Every structure is written in structure tokens, then in C-alpha cells.
């Protein structure tokens, strides 16, 4: 796993007192793991030169530590989320996350950017998406 290409980003969850920390990551898998996985298999692509599978997903961690002054304070846990687009199913790796700097977004919008060529030739592959935080 490769995590935190850049920074862990603090984000005050709208309508709460909780600050979460967001960090992008990418996973790679040895062939034995993917080839023995039951269906449905994860979205991956194989890189022959490295003899590894790489996840074709733009995932990130949401680190929770409980809101200040609440009984759960210090109860650290992580959620995994994904930037997804049905028109472009292979986004590959969140490399940067930023809270919107635009006043009209009032700190509620997030920008996600990424791509990792994983040792493959690539051209015009970077991406940026805008979204809002939502609780599951």
C-alpha cells in the first residue's frame, strides 16, 4: 500500500464538531492474492514488469477520532471511501485532497485529484473531482 502521497488533510465535518483526517492511498497485490480471490474480483490491472496487480480504484481513508468534548473522543477508527465515476471506472489512486478555497463553498466542498501510472506509459491521465462529505 502507498498512502499519503502528499498530506493528511484535516476537515471539519459540516454540522458537527468532528474534525476528520483524509488521506488518499493505492493498493497493490501479488498475483496469488488476486488469482485466488472469489468472485467478484476487485478492479485491478496487471503490470508485467513488476509482476503485480494494482487497484484500479481511487480510494481514501477517513480517520475519525471523535468530536471534542464527546464520550467517543480518542476512539480512533477509519472508514474507507472511494471517488467513483461510472463513465471513467479506472481513476487509480487519490494523490491529493483539498478543502475548497472558494468562499461560496463555505468549507463544505472537497477536491480530490489523482492518478498513478504504476510503471506504465501514460498521457492525459490526471483527474480532479469536486464533492461533498457525506456520512454513511
Q: What are the distances in angstroms from CA 90 to CA 7, 18, 48, 64, 106? A: 23, 32, 18, 27, 30
Tens digit of each residue's pLDDT (9 = 90 or more) over 44-61: 888 888 888 888 888 899
Burial class (CB in 10 A: 0-12, 13-18, 19+), 112: buried
Query: What predicted TM-score, i.e. pTM, was given to this entire model?
Result: 0.79
Tens digit of each residue's pLDDT (9 = 90 or more) over 88-132: 767 888 889 999 999 999 888 999 998 777 677 776 778 899 998
CA angle 62, 10, 1 (to 5 degrees): 45
The residues spanned by each domain of the chain are 2-132
Three cell numbers, residue 83: 471517488
Amino acid at each position: 500500500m502507498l498512502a499519503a502521497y502528499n498530506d493528511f488533510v484535516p476537515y471539519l465535518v459540516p454540522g458537527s464538531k468532528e474534525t476528520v483526517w483524509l488521506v488518499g492511498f493505492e493498493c497493490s497485490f501479488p498475483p496469488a492474492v488476486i488469482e485466488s480471490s472469489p468472485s467478484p474480483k476487485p478492479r485491478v490491472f496487471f503490470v508485467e514488469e513488476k509482476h503485480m496487480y494494482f487497484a484500479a480504484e481511487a480510494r481514501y481513508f477517513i480517520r475519525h477520532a471523535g468530536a471534542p468534548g464527546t464520550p467517543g473522543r480518542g476512539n480512533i477508527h477509519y472508514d474507507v471511501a472511494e471517488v467513483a465515476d461510472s463513465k471513467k471506472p479506472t481513476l487509480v489512486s487519490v494523490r491529493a485532497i483539498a478543502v475548497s478555497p472558494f468562499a461560496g463553498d463555505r468549507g463544505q466542498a472537497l477536491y480530490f485529484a489523482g492518478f498513478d501510472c504504476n510503471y506504465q506509459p501514460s498521457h492525459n491521465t490526471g483527474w480532479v473531482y469536486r464533492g461533498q462529505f457525506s456520512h454513511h
